[in-house]
Amino acid sequence: MFVREFKEHDQEVAEEIFALHWTDPEFLEELSSELRSYIKNAPAENRRFFVAEESDEIVGVAGLRELPEYLRPYTVTDKPVELYIIAAKYKRRGIGTKLKTKLTEEAQKLGFAEILLFSPHSHDESWGFHDMLGFERVGEVTPPDDEVGQVWRKGL
């Protein structure tokens, strides 16, 4: 398995992977829009998207983006970034770990000092994964247009 930068031709498969994890049409459209914007505007300093490939099959998608305001109270540095999305086609095959490692490495290269992420209570099955990879739970928040959930942080 290897991880590479997201390309325009990955959009359809990425959307299929997202649909395995989320059913909210507004959130699915937000994800699709983020990917389209990423391709259209080329990688910006504050965001990156990647796919994991295994045997010519895209098996995961992940991305970093500028930290939203509702996560700012949980920062401890002036150089934070949000781990915006990680979605894998298959569970327990190391896909998420590989993607999260790539995002961490990329955030360091871009000069960020910490990564924060939000996961709502409806996705609590992923919480152990975040804990396992060295992210620390630092609080609970209700973002605009979402449900209450946990916030994680990891220094780089």
Residue 134: predicted pLDDT: 87
Alpha-carbon distances, residue 2 vs 49, 99, 106, 144 (angstroms): 14, 9, 15, 35
pLDDT per position as a tens digit, 34-52: 999 999 887 677 889 999 9
Beta strand 136-141 with 2-5: parallel, antiparallel or unpaired?
unpaired
Residue 109: predicted pLDDT: 93
pLDDT per position as a tens digit, 57-86: 999 999 999 999 999 999 999 999 999 999
- For residue 36, give its domain range: 2-155
Contacts of 120 (CB under 8 A, 6+ apart): 146, 147, 148, 149
Measured distance CA(130)–CA(135) in Å, rounded: 6
**What's the first-to-final CA gap in the chain, in angstroms?**
24
**Is the Cβ–Cβ distance between 140 and 148 less than 8 Å?**
yes
Tell me 132's DSSP state: H
Residue 25: predicted pLDDT: 92
pTM over 0.85: yes
Q: What's 146's domain CATH number?
A: 3.40.630.30
pLDDT per position as a tens digit, 100-142: 999 999 999 999 999 999 999 988 888 988 888 889 999 999 9
When divided into structural domains, the chain yields a total of 1
